[in-house]
């Protein structure tokens, strides 16, 4: 198994510091939050993108994912969503990232309408993703919290360049057992995003192993001796500024995950 962490846990950290932190803490990859308030985002020009890619390559650290904020099930016109997806896909390709993360964002729409909208948009973007050698991953999140929710969309798309990202917290807080989540997402699964929290009501980030999420069960389902399987620690420091700083926790977190796997 390979390990990554999300830059959501180190908001605003310069790229060289992120790379050094990953290498020193024993992580093989990083999930880059692609937002204008971060150092890496779709507004970077060519030479800036090359500099980021070279920084990671020199250290032998992989850019696992460009974590974007496109909401593919959101009500409204398709064109702005297509534009955002394309910008994320080209950024990922320029950086050498494997994946682009997107959200459902279906809001309070009828689920069937939200599913159809997301499948249509992802199906169109899949051809661009295929040309660029990038895979779009729809995260278990917001309007589509469970594996069953995400599988409905990804299954309808039916394209190998559109898959699923299993954020272990959201299906669990929605009442879906890890075995059920894995069963429906396994054919489409890109990787697993882990975290730990005190309870479904208190989702402030905790060090891995200090909370209640069934991480051992989740990793047992996806590990299976596959040395190429990825797990990414998403520590939501950006949304919980009073949470402990992530850098001192990273090495122990990786060791905890390795012991579980």
3-state secondary structure of 140: coil
H or E, element range at 57: helix 46-59
Beta-bridged to residue 14, according to DSSP, are none
CA 54 distance to own-chain centroid: 22
Q: What is the pLDDT of residues 210-243, one digit of tens each?
A: 999 999 999 999 976 567 899 999 999 999 999 9
| C-alpha span between 20 and 153 (Å, rounded) | 37
Q: What's the mean pLDDT when you consider all of the chain?
A: 97
| C-alpha span between 56 and 29 (Å, rounded) | 9
Share of the chain above pLDDT 90, in %: 97
Return phi, psi of residue 56, to 5°. -70, -40
Task: Tell me which residue of 5, 86, 88 sits closest to 44, measured CA to CA.
Answer: 88
The pLDDT score that the predictor gives to residue 48 is 98
C-alpha distance from residue 196 to each of 47, 106, 124, 202 (Å)? 37, 25, 35, 10
The pLDDT score that the predictor gives to residue 261 is 80
Beta-bridged to residue 3, according to DSSP, are 231
- DSSP per residue over 141-188, as a string? BTTB-SHHHHHHHHHHH--TTEEEEEESHHHHHTT--HHHHHHHHGGG
**Angle formed at CA 52 by CA 236 and CA 2, multiple of 5 degrees:** 55
Q: What is the pLDDT of residues 176-202, one digit of tens each?
A: 999 999 999 999 999 999 999 999 999
Look up the pTM and report it. Answer: 0.97
Instruction: Please name each of the domains of the chain with its CATH number.
Output: 2-260 (3.20.20.150)
Say whether pLDDT at 258 is over 90: yes
HEC letters along 69-133 = EEECCCCCCCHHHHHHHHHHHHHHHHHCCCEEEEECCCCCCCHHHHHHHHHHHHHHHHHHHHHHC
**Angle formed at CA 164 by CA 161 and CA 168, multiple of 5 degrees:** 160
The two three-digit tokens of residue 81, written as one number:
């969503």
The pLDDT score that the predictor gives to residue 142 is 97
The stretch 151-159 carries a mean pLDDT of 98
Task: Tell me which residue of 241, 209, 170, 216 sits closest to 8, measured CA to CA.
Answer: 241
Beta-bridged to residue 4, according to DSSP, are 29, 232
């Amino acid at each position: 198994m390979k390990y990554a962490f999300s830059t959501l846990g180190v908001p605003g950290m310069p790229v060289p510091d992120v790379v050094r932190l990953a290498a020193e803490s024993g992580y093989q990859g990083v999930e880059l939050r692609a937002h204008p308030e971060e150092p890496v985002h779709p507004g970077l020009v060519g030479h800036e993108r090359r500099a980021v890619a070279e920084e990671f390559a020199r250290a032998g650290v992989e850019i696992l994912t460009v974590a974007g904020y496109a909401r593919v099930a959101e009500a409204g016109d398709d064109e702005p969503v297509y534009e955002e997806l394309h910008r994320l896909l080209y950024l990922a390709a320029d950086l050498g990232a494997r994946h682009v993360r997107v959200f459902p964002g279906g809001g309070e729409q009828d689920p069937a309408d939200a599913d159809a909208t997301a499948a249509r948009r992802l199906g169109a973007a899949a051809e661009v993703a295929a040309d660029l050698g990038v895979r779009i991953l729809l995260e278990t999140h917001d309007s589509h919290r469970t594996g069953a929710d995400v599988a409905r969309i990804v299954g309808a798309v039916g394209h190998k360049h559109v898959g699923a990202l299993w954020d272990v917290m959201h299906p669990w807080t929605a009442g879906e057992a890890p075995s059920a989540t894995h069963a429906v997402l396994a054919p489409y699964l890109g990787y697993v995003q882990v975290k730990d929290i005190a309870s479904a009501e208190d989702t402030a980030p905790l060090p891995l192993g200090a909370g209640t999420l069934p991480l051992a069960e989740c990793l047992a389902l996806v590990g299976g001796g596959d040395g190429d399987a990825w797990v990414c620690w998403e520590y939501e420091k950006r949304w919980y500024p009073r949470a402990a700083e992530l850098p001192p926790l990273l090495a122990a977190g990786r060791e905890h995950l390795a012991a579980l796997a």
